[in-house]
Structure 1
Amino acid sequence: MVNSPTSPSVQKRSKNEALKERSNYLREPVATELLQDTTRFTEDAIQILKFHGSYQQDNRDNRAKGQEKDYQFMLRTRSPGGFIPPELYLTLDRLSQEYGNHTLRATTRQGFQIHGILKKNLKTVFASIIRSMGSTLGACGDLNRNIMAPPAPYKNRPEYQYAWEYANHIADLLTPQTGAYYELWLDGEKVISAEEAPEVKAARERNLNGTNLPDPEEPIYGQHYMPRKFKIAVTVPGDNSIDLYTQDVSLVVITNKKGKLEGFNVLAGGGLGRTHNKEDTFVRMADAIGYVSKEDVYDLVKAIVATQRDYGDRANRRHARMKYLLQDWGVEKFTAKVEEYFGKKIAPYKPLPAFKYQDYLGWNEQGDGKLFLGISVENGRVKDEGTFRLKSALREIVQQYSLPMRLTGNHNIILYDIEPSQQLAIEQLLEQHGIQISPEGIEPLVRYSMACPALPTCGLAITESERAIPGILERIRALLDKVGLENEHFVVRMTGCPNGCARPYMAELGFVGSAPESYQVWLGGSPDQTRLAQAYVDRMPIHELELFLEPIFVFFKKERKAGEKFGDFCDRVGFDAIRQYTVEYESPKLNSQSDTGLVNEVIKPEPSAIPVASGKTRYRVGVRDELYKRLKNVATKQGKTMTELAAEALEAYLKDI
């Protein structure tokens, strides 16, 4: 199969593997179908188009029976370390206005997305991005995705500069070498780009024990590329602005006392994608693998890539991420196989300080006399809406001051290289456009939240996320205030499906779409995203949010240790204790309804109809105290809501009547 240290057995291959093999290195059938006067690509072409950085979608709000779907395309940038030069930003801004839905979206992987592109405009948009120092190649598909790095542009902290440098170099090392990208979108013209570092080119060409394939076009990937997407991050000790435990590979910069680079700690095997009701799919944190010197880091990265390339599951795409290889083999066997490709033993992992969450909002010194400014972007959506005109503000600032930006792993934006003399004018311009720049002025629940786009554009979305989370956070804040936790906040993350693009499984409180208007709820992640949360219930109708969370918050207030955060509390006391308290909890009687849909739990309400936040009507039926407690106890044990359990019982009873 390949010239690897111990050749893997030949597997039955999935349909996608055959598509990649027939694609002529990512050319077909995209090249043929791009010339056809249609509004969409076929399913086969869609899979190959992903490697070029685009997903075919449709606006699900516009679906109508008997009519063609409202097909459109999302393009995603490949921006190592989140770097967006001024020219590229202005181009993306213009393209989103002329061809997209008039917004940009900063992703949780430090790139930008443009939504709403029509097929007839796809080539124009691709070409414009490429000619403006940008790229989308490898932002999607079965290969190395955008490499993350801390966005803080510290000029007096060399470890941050090393993180940027090696994020760029490893991105270049693992960039697909096929000419398909420029052939399709620039008719074969290759634009002038930054010159590749000689050591990167040498590392790509160097074949250590089968890390390279006998393939003239793709020496690292071959014609089948990777079994699934592959994610890498480079960070510095203590900085967890990039969720290092969620990556396939994370490198941590190690410097000596003089600030000179010595090497990298290496972690591997993280990943968050999963599927509901498929127990063989799961979330996993990366394991420490060891330490590598700076001279060997490219060879070690290639050795890890080769191990996953050759031994990852190409038959079952649900089992194809590298986390499953780590889980199936164990760290010791995985490391031994990597060492076969690497050709030497991997040194022991070096001690590190605890990792902390960082978002770098507000004004900061960057260490060379200049400033950088972190701007909170709710859900990453750069738009103009009412008095909030972030899109216009950024356009004016970049045009006037030609500032570069770094996107963060929490879908915020950092403008940097700002002269102190420009600070006041930039601050005034942002304030005039309704942008809050003081971190203290941002609602903490909003500041530390993330949500994926979900509906209406994502084809995988089961329910709402980006459009729902603002109202949900308002309801959580109202509930915290009600139970006497006015100053409390925690990390909330939401996704419309279990793929986990907003990384909800690392949150203190995570919502994962499980049915229309219903979510799986995860609890117990750490405030610094260094511990996985756990699934608490599988399906919570969002109109029951207050009923569900109130007893948990009251228990937290009553039993927390001094200064203990919500996620740490849930992890410490455990779910059995939380469930037991919720069974015994009795809330005050029903209060008057608020605009947020806040509903207090009641013991014996009279039958009534209560409007909820969704605009629908929810009917209540009273039950005896004893029956109520039994119902709540069983529902808690089964991980269901009382509404679900009662509905199931009533449906079964009424079925034959």
Structure 2
Amino acid sequence: MAASAAAVAGTGAGAENKVGIRVFQGFRSSGLVPFGRSFRTLPIGPSSSSSSVISAISTPTKPDTTQIKRSKVELFKEQSNFLRFPLNEELVSEAPNINEAATQLIKFHGSYQQTNRDERGVKSYQFMLRTKNPCGRVPNKLYLVMDDLADEFGVGTLRLTTRQTFQLHGILKKDLKTVMSTIIRNMGSTLGACGDLNRNVLAPAAPFAKKEYIFAQETAENIAALLTPQSGAYYDLWVNGEKVMSAEPPEVVKAREDNTHGTNFPDSPEPIYGTQFLPRKFKIAVTVPTDNSVDILTNDIGVVLISDDVGEPEGFNIYVGGGMGRTHRLETTFPCLGEPLGYVPKEDILYAIKAIVVTQRENGRRDDRKYSRMKYLISSWGIKKFRSVVEQYYGKKFEPFRELPEWEFKSYLGWHEQGDGKMFCGLHVDSGRIRGEMKKTLREIIGKYNLNVRITPNQNMILCDIRRSWRRPITAALAQAGLLLPRYVDPLNITAMACPALPLCPLAITEAERGIPDLLKRIRAVFEKVGLKYQESVVIRVTGCPNGCARPYMAELGLVGDGPSCYQIWLGGTPNQTSLAKSFMNKVKIHDLEKVLEPLFYHWKIKRLRGESFGEFTTRMGFDKLQELVEKWEGPVEPTSRFNLKLFANRETYDAMAELAKLQNKTAHQLAMDIIRDYIAAHKNEEELTY
């Protein structure tokens, strides 16, 4: 399969600045829009770079004049001089916002333009910044700087994302360059955190001194480096052209420059991405067998390290085609799990990754962004044809996929041995939002003990490299700030996730992050009402729209925004995140959730098989039967819990508790249990602070 190539030719002073525009050829056999092989040049607006002519030069093919419609974003990318124009002009204008083209381009630089949807009248424009942290690594210096920036230029909070990065909200346009340059000069980056290119590369966050974990994390960082934009536009705009970056490993440079199989645009500022980058966002995760802390099957590419009997890395299994985004009531859009592509030796992993990315670059749809993720290309072609095309760019046949053990979800909360004499401590952070006393205390601890940090794919944080003698004072300080030991956190909260949604996300239909605390309390109340034990849990994920940023389609119970104060209910995921949930009910009003959840949880309690999770139960029962149970539900006559408040309180106390409980839509027993748990969490003595 011939690959396109790009060349850059310099021009004299005053020459007209032009950028190559790639014309897409038809791909009649699949109905997809390949990247194209012919070219023409058109003028673009001023840019911060020197004047040049950029044109696409291709391997000779039979001329094809077929014109395929492309999305507006494709034209913006094409005419941007590698992500510069018109963003460079919009950033220095007096307006508080930027125009449509610049809004698309700034995503590649790691930012989204937003407005506060809670406010009425004149729009108050602001920007969200997202960092790029392969493996979730955050050096001590960068964490302290991000904490400062959140207070000085943001809304006073840091947010941990499901892709192991930070988000800063509330940045004004006039402060963007100051914030960006500060991040860049303090060991950080936002380049490629958003936009149509490879996003942050996930890997297990645990800082184990184990050979397989170290190798997997190094591989993730090398993949991230391989697929980082190269044109220099990022540094031109934010640090005046200064290249603030560390040297890349030679194997990364070699793999990027290799064009043995026609993957590259020769002499282009973007040898892998060209002028158009990718059709849509692209996600990659790397892990080791059994460790599914990264939701491996939800990524465009999932990479699994394979080691020999003594733990020496040998190669990698590769999954392809995962993705969560979809559109309500449009069956041609769907969430999808990655499927096995094959196995490659460890020395070939960068070349295999590059071949997959180029296959998507050349063949992914660019006319309709709803269908531009790689999962739709694989769905159209089938895995056999997809593998064949990738192998042409890879230059080899993939070896058979190696057998893997069962996956497990690992949270890494609490205290653990690193294996190098030090310890790490995993902290649960509700919805990843760091604020208030928690934020203040974390800064003090991280600063005082000079700790490095890692962000997990479950929106939590790990404090790394802790000496044993620091464990007790750190634990005590964390508890005072509400960062409790895992055994004091409600099990429902441990695995729950939510996207930011309202008020800042323009795609949000209803609440997620702001709504999930109350939702979890209500679900806990349902558990108690139907007699489920406190230690029991289900994986709950909530998003404000169907795009799936908190991966709700992998949850045992997924709530997906489906209208104002309405959710679509998804059931059937598993605790180890290996099964795709399915849509159970549409447009369920938030105040009606108990009518659906009570019968589901009650029948799970009484009809489940030994060790059967809630997701497995709903799949085994089938949705028709579950629908019947919901429709016929009249509720349990009496609370089935063997612990009854009436047995432990006099009538006066019980009646008073019952009155207070009514105000919170709870039973007296439920309210009493909440009060007891809160009391225990707030009054632990120092001995209880030791794991």
TM-score tier, shorter chain, comes to 0.7 to 0.9
Q: Percent identity?
A: 53
Distance 1:216 1:18 in 2: 19
SS at match of 2:562: strand
Of the structure 1 ranges 415-424 and 427-436, higher mean CA displacement relative to structure 2 is found in 427-436
SS at match of 1:62: coil
Answer yes or no: is 1:562 the counterpart of 2:615.
no
Answer yes or no: is 1:14 the counterpart of 2:71.
yes
TM-score, normalised relative to structure 1: 0.88
The residue that corresponds to 2:353 in the other structure is 301
Distance 1:580 1:404 in 2: 52
1:614-638: CA deviations, max 9, x gaps?
A: xxxxxxxxxxxxxxxxxxxxxxxxx
Aligned residues: 589
1:335-391: CA deviations, max 9, x gaps?
A: 01101111111000000101100100000001011000000000000101xxxx210
Answer yes or no: is 1:498 the counterpart of 2:511.
no
Distance 2:595 2:347 in 1: 57
Deviation at 1:486, TM superposition (A): 2.7
Deviation at 1:559, TM superposition (A): 1.1
SS at match of 1:515: coil
Answer yes or no: is 1:60 the counterpart of 2:112.
no
The residue that corresponds to 1:552 in the other structure is 600
Q: 1:590 to 1:554 in 2, by over 3 A?
A: closer
The residue that corresponds to 1:45 in the other structure is 102
Alignment of 1:81-96 (within 5 A): 81-96=135-150
Alpha-carbon contact 2:300-2:338 (below 8 Å) kept:
yes
- AA at the equivalent of 1:491: V
Deviation at 1:250, TM superposition (A): 0.7
Alpha-carbon contact 1:241-1:359 (below 8 Å) kept:
yes
SS at match of 2:497: strand
The residue that corresponds to 1:344 in the other structure is 396
Distance 2:663 2:215 in 1: 50
Q: Say which of 69, 79, 84 aligns to 1:27.
A: 84
- AA at the equivalent of 1:34: L
Deviation at 1:577, TM superposition (A): 1.4
- AA at the equivalent of 1:16: V
Of the structure 1 ranges 16-25 and 551-560, higher mean CA displacement relative to structure 2 is found in 551-560
Distance 1:215 1:566 in 2: 55
The residue that corresponds to 1:620 in the other structure is none
SS at match of 1:372: strand
Deviation at 1:2, TM superposition (A): 6.4
Alpha-carbon contact 2:201-2:220 (below 8 Å) kept:
yes
The residue that corresponds to 1:213 in the other structure is 265
The residue that corresponds to 1:379 in the other structure is 431
Distance 1:37 1:12 in 2: 35
The residue that corresponds to 1:320 in the other structure is 372
The residue that corresponds to 1:160 in the other structure is 213
- AA at the equivalent of 1:308: Q
Q: Say which of 474, 478, 488 aligns to 2:521.
A: 474
Alpha-carbon contact 1:8-1:310 (below 8 Å) kept:
no
Q: 1:332 to 1:594 in 2, by over 3 A?
A: farther
Deviation at 1:226, TM superposition (A): 0.1
Deviation at 1:244, TM superposition (A): 0.3
Alignment of 1:165-564 (within 5 A): 165-191=218-244, 193-384=245-436, 389-436=437-484, 438-487=485-534, 488-564=536-612
| Runs (5+) with no aligned partner, structure 1 | 600-657
SS at match of 2:626: helix
Deviation at 1:535, TM superposition (A): 0.3
Distance 2:482 2:541 in 1: 25
Distance 1:326 1:108 in 2: 25
Q: 1:2 to 1:70 in 2, by over 3 A?
A: farther
Answer yes or no: is 1:107 the counterpart of 2:164.
no
Deviation at 1:588, TM superposition (A): 5.3
The residue that corresponds to 1:71 in the other structure is 125
- AA at the equivalent of 1:546: E
SS at match of 1:414: strand
Distance 1:234 1:58 in 2: 35
Deviation at 1:241, TM superposition (A): 0.2
- AA at the equivalent of 2:217: W
SS at match of 2:98: coil
Alpha-carbon contact 2:202-2:294 (below 8 Å) kept:
yes
Alpha-carbon contact 1:2-1:213 (below 8 Å) kept:
no
Deviation at 1:563, TM superposition (A): 2.1
Distance 2:582 2:378 in 1: 20
Distance 2:637 2:311 in 1: 62
Distance 1:517 1:471 in 2: 13
1:528-565: CA deviations, max 9, x gaps?
A: 11000000011100000111211111221221112211
Distance 1:494 1:210 in 2: 43
1:152-175: CA deviations, max 9, x gaps?
A: 1110x2110011100110100000
Deviation at 1:42, TM superposition (A): 0.8
Deviation at 1:572, TM superposition (A): 1.2
SS at match of 2:402: coil
Distance 2:120 2:339 in 1: 44
The residue that corresponds to 1:3 in the other structure is 3
The residue that corresponds to 2:177 in the other structure is 123
Distance 2:489 2:383 in 1: 42
Deviation at 1:431, TM superposition (A): 2.0
SS at match of 1:264: strand
- AA at the equivalent of 1:580: E
SS at match of 1:48: helix
Distance 1:595 1:73 in 2: 39
1:2-61: CA deviations, max 9, x gaps?
A: 626998745321111110000000001110011101110111110000000000001111
TM-score, normalised relative to structure 2: 0.83
SS at match of 1:73: strand
Alpha-carbon contact 1:522-1:536 (below 8 Å) kept:
yes
Deviation at 1:580, TM superposition (A): 2.0
The residue that corresponds to 1:613 in the other structure is none
Alpha-carbon contact 1:521-1:540 (below 8 Å) kept:
yes
SS at match of 2:197: coil
Q: 1:299 to 1:588 in 2, by over 3 A?
A: closer
Deviation at 1:194, TM superposition (A): 2.6
Alpha-carbon contact 1:364-1:372 (below 8 Å) kept:
yes
SS at match of 2:462: strand
SS at match of 2:118: helix
SS at match of 2:662: coil
Distance 1:588 1:444 in 2: 24
Distance 2:447 2:395 in 1: 51
Deviation at 1:432, TM superposition (A): 2.5
Alpha-carbon contact 2:595-2:630 (below 8 Å) kept:
no
Distance 1:60 1:313 in 2: 32
Deviation at 1:225, TM superposition (A): 0.1
Answer yes or no: is 1:142 the counterpart of 2:196.
yes
SS at match of 1:60: coil
Alpha-carbon contact 1:450-1:494 (below 8 Å) kept:
yes
1:386-437: CA deviations, max 9, x gaps?
A: xxx210111101111111111000000001111111111211221222321x
SS at match of 1:61: coil
1:56-103: CA deviations, max 9, x gaps?
A: 001111122xxx211110000000000000110011000000000000
Alpha-carbon contact 1:4-1:341 (below 8 Å) kept:
no
Distance 2:207 2:663 in 1: 43
Deviation at 1:189, TM superposition (A): 1.2
Of the structure 1 ranges 577-586 and 400-409, higher mean CA displacement relative to structure 2 is found in 577-586
| Runs (5+) with no aligned partner, structure 2 | 6-23, 28-35, 37-67, 640-657, 668-691
